[in-house]
């Protein structure tokens, strides 16, 4: 039996023409030694565009559409993260991250702006990261072990609009000339906004985050990662049957 090679695309309506070109190129150069299963990840692709993409199917190429909203509805009440006596479900993370996103949008954060985050690994950190993502902003995680000197270098490189940190790390951002949100006793004061998903046009080619190296051998170096790259990675990981069974 022929091997099956999974190929993942994360798309939106703006990139349907790009995907069409990619599919045509794939089919033109496809080896008859393999079957190709192409999974298209989406949240709201129009029916007409689905039909345009499905026409590229043939005996060697199978195209499937994966609606990410379906998985949220299916697993919404399941526990996502446990932290001691505290637990958060998929639905709760969705709503709380929407609230945080709407809060920082009201505070002036806009798409493609950089938001620096230095927080301990807690449930609140997950909420903050997803909230920033939903604004279309680019989050920049900085490890708490970075020296103040390296933090200053990173801030100079990314020119953030907002810094979000636990109060114990505030001294590392002393002198930074941008807005700051200091997380001291949880997120309750920041979760009073609407729990509806912000209306932000985010496309798969937009930057998701910038990760910096430790800088132990010189200046910290940033690596830019797009939404498309992360979605492709996540889909590839979930192809593992053991992962699905857990």
Residue by residue, DSSP assigns 112-171 as T-EEEEE--SSHHHHHHHHHHHHTTPEEEE--TTS-HHHHHHHHHHH--SEEEEEGGGGG
Residue found by looking up tokens 């599919």 in the block: 23
Can you give the length of the chain in residues?
246
Quote the strand ranges of the chain, DSSP E.
3-10, 34-42, 61-67, 79-83, 86-89, 114-118, 138-141, 162-166, 179-183, 207-212, 222-226
* Residue among 35, 23, 161 nearest 105 (CA): 161
In this prediction, residue 103 carries a pLDDT of 96
CA diameter of the chain: 64
In this prediction, residue 56 carries a pLDDT of 83
Tokens of 169: 């790390």
Q: Which residues contact 198 (CB under 8 A, 6 or more apart)?
A: 98, 101, 102, 105, 134, 135
Report CA Rg, the chain.
21
Are the C-beta atoms of 180 and 173 separated by less than 8 Å? yes
Query: For 211, what's the count of Cα atoms within 13 Å in the CB-facing half-sphere?
Result: 5
In this prediction, residue 170 carries a pLDDT of 94
In this prediction, residue 114 carries a pLDDT of 97
Cross-strand bridge partners of residue 89:
79
d(CA 31, CA 196): 46
Residue numbers of the chain with a pLDDT score lower than 50: 1-2, 245-246
Q: Which helix (H) or strand (E) holds 195?
A: none
d(CA 197, CA 172): 32
SS3 57: coil
pTM: 0.76
Interior CA angle at 80 toward 5 and 7, to 5°?
10
Q: Which residues contact 145 (CB under 8 A, 6 or more apart)?
A: 214
Residue range 85-113, pLDDT digits in tens? 889 999 999 999 999 999 999 999 999 99
SS3 5: strand
How would you label 197-221 residue by residue, b for 16+ Cβ within 10 Å and e otherwise? ebeeebebebbbbbebeebeeeebe
């Amino acid at each position: 039996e022929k091997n099956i090679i999974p190929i993942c695309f994360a798309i939106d309506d703006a990139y349907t023409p790009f995907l069409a070109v990619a599919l045509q190129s794939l089919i033109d150069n496809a080896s008859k030694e393999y079957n190709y299963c192409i999974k298209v990840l989406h949240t709201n692709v129009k029916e007409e565009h689905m039909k345009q993409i499905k026409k590229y199917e043939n005996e060697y190429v199978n195209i499937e559409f994966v609606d990410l909203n379906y998985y949220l509805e299916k697993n919404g009440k399941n526990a996502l993260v446990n932290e001691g006596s505290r637990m958060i479900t998929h639905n709760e993370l969705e709503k709380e991250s929407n609230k945080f996103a709407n809060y920082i949008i009201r505070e002036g954060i806009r798409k493609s702006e950089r938001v620096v985050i230095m927080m301990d690994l807690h449930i609140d950190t997950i909420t903050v990261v997803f909230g920033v993502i939903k604004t279309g902003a680019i989050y920049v995680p900085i490890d708490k072990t970075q020296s103040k000197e390296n933090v200053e270098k990173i801030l100079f490189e990314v020119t953030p609009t907002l810094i979000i940190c636990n109060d114990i790390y505030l001294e590392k951002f002393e002198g930074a000339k941008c807005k700051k949100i200091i997380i001291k006793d949880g997120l309750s004061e920041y979760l009073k906004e609407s729990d509806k998903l912000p209306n932000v046009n985010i496309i798969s080619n937009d930057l998701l985050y910038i990760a910096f190296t430790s800088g132990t051998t010189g200046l910290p170096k940033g690596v830019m990662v797009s939404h498309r790259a992360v979605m492709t990675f996540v889909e590839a990981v979930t192809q593992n049957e053991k992962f699905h069974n857990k």
